[in-house]
């Protein structure tokens, strides 16, 4: 996963080295560097297996679970670029350069923030993938950088796309990037909705055709049964002829 600044995130940690690193952080300044792995299958990554830009986070809470894993609650701080690290026991101590958060001057930042929030509200209403309650919490955020990263954390993209957002240090470019992501998600959802509508209509049509076919079979069966039922008049005539009644009685 990719952790963005400004948000509070739960992390489930299972590797002994990572657990030791968390314990060490908790006994010190509680600061850790969170870097995403390029390949999730690599259990013991080296520097080449990690992205260079990550998030410095503060460990708020550690909870050791019965299965031996640890649930950590962390709060994202600032973006940072890895410049080097060295082993300390089973974990690594990182050297980083902080990436400053730029500010958009004037009303441009406010206008971009309003546009971003409006598009995200439309995405939430259409997709139903994000709880409606998140909109209320976002409405109270007046910092464009915090708003952008908070929205980015709600978007279900792959690791490479999430990392691209994290590495985009220019705030205006980052906001434009998230707007494009939201627009793409809305377009995909509308396409999915159209496909589901066509499938539903086709199923309803098939069900109607099946129902009509069954009705036709039932009617044809009834007609066949009627044809097989002997005519009463013919049966009576046959009975008269068989009994040999007189002409006067037969008439």
Domain 8-98 fold is 2.30.130
Q: Could you read off the pLDDT of 223-239 as tens digits, one per residue?
A: 776 565 556 666 666 66
Domain ranges of the chain: 8-98, 101-232
> What is the Cβ-side half-sphere exposure of residue 77, based on CA atoms within 13 angstroms?
13
> What is the Cβ-side half-sphere exposure of residue 126, based on CA atoms within 13 angstroms?
19
**What's the pLDDT at 99?**
92
Do 79 and 166 meet the contact criterion of CB atoms below 8 Å apart? yes
Helix, strand, coil percent values for the chain (each to nearest 5) = 55, 20, 25
Is the CATH number 1.10.10.350 carried by domain 101-232?
no
Rg over alpha carbons for the chain, rounded to the nearest Å, is 36
Identify the segments of the chain with pLDDT beneath 50: none
User: What's 159-195 look like in SS3?
Assistant: HHHHHHHHHCCCHHHHHHHHHHHHHHHHHHHHHHHHH
Distances (CA, A) of 63 to 7, 18, 215: 19, 14, 64
> How many whole angstroms separate alpha carbon 41 and alpha carbon 52?
18
**What's the pLDDT at 98?**
93
Distances (CA, A) of 189 to 89, 158, 186, 201, 202: 48, 17, 5, 18, 20
**What's the pLDDT at 237?**
67
**What's the pLDDT at 88?**
85
pTM of this prediction exceeds 0.85: no
101-232 matches 8-98 in CATH topology: no
């Amino acid at each position: 996963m990719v952790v963005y600044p400004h948000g509070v995130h739960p992390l489930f940690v299972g590797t002994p080295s990572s657990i030791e690193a968390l314990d060490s952080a908790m006994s010190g300044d509680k600061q850790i560097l969170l870097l995403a792995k390029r390949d999730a299958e690599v259990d013991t990554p080296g520097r080449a297996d990690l992205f260079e830009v990550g998030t410095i986070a503060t460990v708020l809470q550690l909870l050791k679970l019965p299965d031996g894993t640890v649930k950590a609650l962390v709060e994202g701080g600032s973006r940072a670029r890895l410049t080097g690290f060295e082993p300390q026991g089973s974990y690594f101590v990182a050297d980083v350069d902080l990436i400053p958060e730029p500010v958009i001057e004037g009303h441009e930042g406010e206008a971009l923030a309003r546009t971003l929030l409006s598009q995200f509200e439309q995405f939430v209403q259409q997709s139903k993938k994000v709880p409606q309650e998140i909109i209320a919490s976002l409405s109270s955020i007046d910092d464009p950088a915090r708003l952008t990263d908070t929205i980015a954390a709600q978007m279900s993209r792959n690791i490479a796309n999430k990392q691209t957002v994290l590495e985009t240090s220019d705030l205006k470019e980052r906001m434009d990037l998230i707007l494009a992501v939201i627009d793409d998600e809305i377009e995909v959802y509308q396409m999915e909705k159209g496909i589901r509508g066509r499938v539903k209509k086709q199923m309803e049509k098939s069900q109607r055709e099946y129902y009509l076919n069954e009705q036709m079979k039932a009617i044809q069966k009834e007609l066949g049964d009627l044809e097989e039922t002997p005519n009463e008049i013919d049966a009576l005539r046959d009975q008269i002829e068989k009994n040999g009644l007189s002409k006067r009685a037969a008439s």
